[in-house]
A and B are shown apart, each in its own frame.
Chain A
Amino acid sequence: MSVSGRDRRRRYSLALIVLTCITLITLDRRADDRGPLGVVGRVAHRIVSPISAAVDSVFDPVGEWLAGVFDGGELRRQNEALRAEVAELQGQIRESDRALAENEEFRKFFGLVWLGDIPTVGATVVADAPPGNFEKTVELNRGSEAGIKVGYAVIVPNGLAGRVVEAWQGGSKVLLITDPTFGVSVRLQDQRIRGPAEGQPGSSTLKLNLSSADLSREQQESIVVGDPVDTCGCDDSEYPPGVPVGSVVRKEQQTSGIALIVRVRPYLDVASLEHVVVLLWEPGDPVPPPPSTTLPSIPSTASTATTARGEPTATVPQGGGVGSGEA
């Protein structure tokens, strides 16, 4: 059986393409964002970003209309579920109002306590629709010209939003905390238990893997739904300590009994993500203590000074966590 020259050329072409692709994939996985491929990405983003922002503003209403047309049934179901939720929440609002009023008092004195004196850059989300189907990212209007670098943490008033994965002149790309590839070292605030939390494919929660052997029975039982979780800032963590991450929604003991899995729902509300703050903080940078460690006398039931999250601040060590009372 003879193979014509044209067929042979086609096969060579295909083999060349496949080899090139495999080489690219390998280089990309090994070099991360620092190699020549990362430079290509930054240049391309810089060129396309203004077009993307312009198209975004023009076609956003069209996209919303399309979503309304095709997701009508889903919207109805969501509407019913939300009505039920609203009724339940209204009952909780009265109780929350009292706590909020007290919280507001504290905020007047501390602002975002967990932010400390870390330098920040404010930015606006200019493209909230990721180009691909397997990632949860947004684009910001500030980039390397504002001092933003890859790896910097991005926050919203209620906590961690994500981290910068690409930065170019005039823009940056943020991997959101809800992305399945996101990972962060966290700490259960109340129990002072630390561990790595990772995103989960097909889920908007983070999975916190804890070793049962390292925890006492009391510690394991003390973890309950609603417990707050923040960044631990331990070792070479990419995030400063004390940044709120989310709250515990579920606790599962693995059948082997070796691991305790805690599911954490991030505080971030992606739907209302509009303005963010990028922390110009790198691992190893000093973490300043909270702005004040003593409170003026506030009419409150608390007898000791506490942060907005209720943690004692009088024992904050120098260089310790932002807003953290952890030793």
Chain B
Amino acid sequence: MRFLAPRLIPLGVTLVIVQVALFPQLRLFGVVPDVGLVAAVAVAYRHGPEVGAWFGFAVGFGYDVFLNTPMGLSALAYALCAYLVGSIERGLLRRGRWLPSFLGLLAGIVGGGCFLLVGALAGAEELATTEAIAIQAKVALYGAVVAPFAFAVVNLVLRDDRPAWTLRD
């Protein structure tokens, strides 16, 4: 993972800034997409569950700093979701062009569900409502839309141009 850190850290910081500064202006259906979640899933898909989970935790924590929901909630949801996707990645039989969108949607549903469930358990009553579920469904759909772009960016940033002898990570 140490070879990835110099790329993952700037990527994570940029994602958080884009998430809190740019995407609130680009709402679709009135919601902001979980770009960090989709990116964490993309990282997990490419580099496995452990790297994905740590990246998801870091990006989610960065996002949490700007939210009124309990600190650590997005971090937990992103990390768990990335770990899940990283774990099932090897079992995928088909890898078509639709895969990023599918994983973005899946991440939105699983990560969003985790966010709402843990948030409600932590006492955030506004997350235990049907309206919150509807919002999260829209977020998942928007996540599916931005997923191909997020996967492309992650692939671009994390592309393997290291010498062959270092590719053990």
Residues of A whose CB lies within 8 Å of any CB of B are 9-10, 13-14, 17-18, 20-25, 27-29, 37, 40-41, 44-45, 48, 51-52, 55-56, 59-60, 62-63, 66-67, 70-71, 127, 129-135, 137, 165, 175, 179-181, 201-202
When C-beta atoms are compared, the residue in chain B nearest to A42 turns out to be B65
Pairwise interchain contact B49-A10, C-beta atoms closer than 8 A: yes
18 A-B contact pairs sorted by A residue (CB < 8 Å) = A10-B50, A17-B53, A17-B57, A17-B75, A17-B79, A27-B71, A48-B66, A55-B21, A71-B30, A131-B19, A131-B63, A132-B32, A132-B66, A134-B124, A135-B67, A135-B69, A180-B129, A201-B126
Tell whether, in the assembled complex, residue A133 and residue B135 are in contact, meaning their CB atoms are under 8 Å apart: yes
Contact B57 A20 (CB under 8 A): yes
Partner of B66, one of A44, A56, A175: A44
A51 CA / B125 CA spacing, docked (Å): 31
Task: Report B-chain residues with C-beta under 8 Å of the C-beta of A70.
Answer: 28-29
Say yes or no for B72: interface residue by CB 8 A criterion.
yes
How many chain B residues sit at the interface, stated as a range, is 35 or more
Of the listed residues A27, A59, A63, A134, the one surrounded by the most CB atoms of chain B closer than 10 A to its CB is A134
Nearest CB in chain A to that of B58: its residue: A17
* B5 within 8 A of partner (CB): no
In the docked arrangement, what's the CA distance between A67 and B24, Å? 12
The docked-state distance in angstroms from the alpha carbon of A10 to that of B44 is: 12
Contact assessment for A135 and B68 in the assembled complex, using a CB-CB cutoff below 8 Å:
yes
The DSSP consensus for interface residues of chain B is: helix
* Interchain CA distance A48-B62 in the complex, whole Å: 11
Output the least CB separation between A51 and chain B (Å). Answer: 5
Say yes or no: A21 contacts B72, CB within 8 Å: yes
State which of A21, A127, A165 has its C-beta within 8 Å of the C-beta of B57: A21
A179 — which chain B residues lie within 8 A by C-beta? 68
Neighbouring A residues of B125 by C-beta, 8 Å = 180-181, 201
- Judge if B99 is at the interface, Cβ distance under 8 Å: no
- A217, chain B: closest CB distance, angstroms: 32
Given contacts A41-B66, A201-B131, contact A21 B32 (CB under 8 A): no
Candidates A10, A24, A129, A130; contact of B71 at CB < 8 Å: A24
Q: Is B122 engaged at the interface, CB distance under 8 Å to the other chain?
A: yes
Residues of A contacting B72 in the complex (Cβ-Cβ under 8 angstroms):
20-25, 28
B50 to A180, Cβ gap below 8 A? no
Q: A14-B83, A62-B25 known; A25 and B118 CB under 8 Å?
A: yes
